[in-house]
């Protein structure tokens, strides 16, 4: 799959997840194997004007593969300025968020709320594309609600404005994450454009990825919540569907090493006080995937990194099987 000068191989992408796909997690997923990793959503005006935390969220940190930084906003000026900022700081691909369903985003007329005003949405797209030399992509949904399924028209206009790839989450905004993603509806977007289309929503393993590709006709898949606690799942999908090298799924002590390596990276990135809190959700997902409910309840309340390390090693010592 081609995005500007970049060949995305395998075409299995990590979705932007606010508060989750920060640099430590992106780095870990990329190490297992992914065609592209996308940053958590960055508010355009905030990243230009605010302090170091907002800028840290846009930090790229590695050079081994194409990295995409996702921008959100409602004003063309700030979207363009943010695009210039992240390009200057090393972003190789910029993604525009037009799919986030969260009320705090849509109430500000950003994210998926832009689907209600395609003309305004296109002005933002044109501003970003015109501001940078790197490829610009778009992530959106099927529409605002069942009465406004305008993703094919928006995709066509976005392509004409210079968008290099579009990712479609197979739900409307008003569905949030309820029900099942409609991969067949993504086929209408695929038919409307010639640029690559990526299917997103409910893709958690090779079987769901295969079904999503078959029903949508998409060029690739994007995995979001399915990677929580399983940073190797993108590589597993890539191996099953696209012939990439199969990852070694860590077990026992090796799994503890992965978890604690991720934990250490989070503490280094955020500092210990904030990092301990940020890391809890990741520890919880790892322990949940491994079926370690009792250990999860105990570890999630610990604040001392040394105690966390001891308990994680003890918990995973007997964890013999983790789902791929």
Show binding-site residues for FMN.
Answer: 70, 139, 169, 224-225
CA distances from 135 to 89, 110, 251, 310 (A): 15, 21, 39, 45
Whether residue 227 is found in the same domain as residue 268: no
Question: Is 100 labeled as catalytic in the residue annotation?
Answer: yes
**What is the number of domains present in the chain?**
2
Instruction: Tell me if 146 is assigned to some domain.
Output: yes
Whether residue 276 is found in the same domain as residue 128: no
CB atoms within 10 A of CB 278: 18
Query: CA-CA distance, 55 to 43, in Å (whole number)?
Result: 10
Show binding-site residues.
Answer: 70, 139, 169, 224-225
Query: CA-CA distance, 101 to 127, in Å (whole number)?
Result: 23
Q: State residue 318's pLDDT score.
A: 67
Whether residue 93 is found in the same domain as residue 160: yes
Whether residue 292 is found in the same domain as residue 146: no
Q: State residue 134's pLDDT score.
A: 94
Query: CA-CA distance, 137 to 129, in Å (whole number)?
Result: 9
Query: CA-CA distance, 324 to 322, in Å (whole number)?
Result: 6
**Catalytic annotation, pick one of 100, 227, 237, 319:** 100
Residue where a domain terminates, one of 223, 242, 261: 242
Instruction: Tell me if 218 is assigned to some domain.
Output: yes
Instruction: Tell me if 308 is assigned to some domain.
Output: yes
Q: What residue numbers bound the domain in which 115 lies?
A: 2-242
Q: State residue 77's pLDDT score.
A: 94
Average pLDDT per consecutive 10 residues, the chain (324 residues; last block may be shorter): 93 92 91 91 81 57 64 92 86 87 66 88 96 96 87 97 97 82 97 98 97 98 96 97 92 94 95 95 95 92 96 83 46
User: Does residue 163 contact residue 137 with C-beta atoms inside 8 Å?
Assistant: yes
Q: State residue 289's pLDDT score.
A: 92
Residue in the structure block whose two tokens are 């959700």 = 281
Residue where a domain terminates, one of 242, 270, 293: 242
Q: State residue 76's pLDDT score.
A: 94
Instruction: Tell me if 78 is assigned to some domain.
Output: yes
Q: State residue 51's pLDDT score.
A: 59
β-sheet bridge partners, residue 270: none
Q: State residue 303's pLDDT score.
A: 94
Whether the ω angle into residue 105 lies within 30 degrees of 0, i.e. cis, is no
Whether residue 85 is found in the same domain as residue 195: yes
Whether residue 165 is found in the same domain as residue 282: no
First to last CA, the chain: 25
Whether residue 106 is found in the same domain as residue 63: yes
Residue where a domain terminates, one of 242, 267, 300: 242
The whole-angstrom distance between residue 13's C-alpha and the CA centroid of its chain comes to 7
Phi-psi region of 267 (alpha: psi -120 to 50; beta: other; left: phi over 0): alpha
Whether residue 163 is found in the same domain as residue 278: no
Whether residue 136 is found in the same domain as residue 270: no
Whether residue 259 is found in the same domain as residue 152: no
């Amino acid at each position: 799959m081609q995005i500007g000068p970049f060949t995305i191989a395998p075409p299995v992408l990590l979705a932007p997840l606010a508060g989750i796909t920060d640099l430590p997690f992106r780095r870990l997923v990329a190490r297992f194997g992914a065609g592209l990793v996308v940053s958590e959503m960055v508010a355009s005006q905030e990243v230009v004007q605010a302090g170091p935390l907002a800028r840290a969220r846009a930090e790229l940190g590695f050079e081994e593969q194409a990295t995409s930084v996702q921008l959100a906003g409602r004003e063309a000026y700030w979207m363009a300025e943010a695009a210039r900022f992240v390009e200057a700081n090393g972003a190789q691909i910029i993604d525009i968020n037009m799919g986030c369903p969260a009320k705090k985003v849509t109430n500000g007329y950003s994210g998926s709320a832009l689907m209600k005003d395609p003309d305004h949405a296109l002005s933002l797209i044109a501003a970003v594309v015109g501001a940078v030399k790197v490829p610009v992509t778009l992530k959106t949904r099927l529409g605002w609600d069942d009465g406004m399924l305008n993703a094919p028209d928006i995709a066509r206009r976005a392509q004409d404005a210079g968008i290099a790839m579009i990712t479609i989450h197979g739900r409307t905004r008003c569905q949030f994450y309820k029900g099942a993603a409609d991969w067949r509806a993504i086929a209408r977007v695929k038919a409307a454009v010639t640029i690559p289309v990526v299917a997103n929503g409910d893709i958690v393993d090779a079987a769901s990825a295969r079904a999503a590709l078959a029903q949508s006709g998409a060029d690739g898949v994007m995995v979001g919540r399915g990677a929580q606690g399983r940073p190797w799942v993108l590589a597993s999908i890539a191996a099953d569907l696209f012939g990439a090298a199969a990852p070694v799924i860590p077990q026992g002590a090796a799994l503890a090493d992965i978890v604690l390596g991720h934990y250490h990276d989070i503490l280094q990135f955020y500092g210990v006080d904030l990092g301990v809190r940020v890391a809890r959700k990741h520890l919880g997902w790892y322990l949940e995937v491994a079926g370690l409910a009792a250990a999860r309840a105990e570890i999630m309340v610990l604040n001392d990194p040394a105690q966390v390390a001891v308990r994680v090693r003890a918990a995973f010592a007997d964890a013999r099987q983790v789902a791929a």
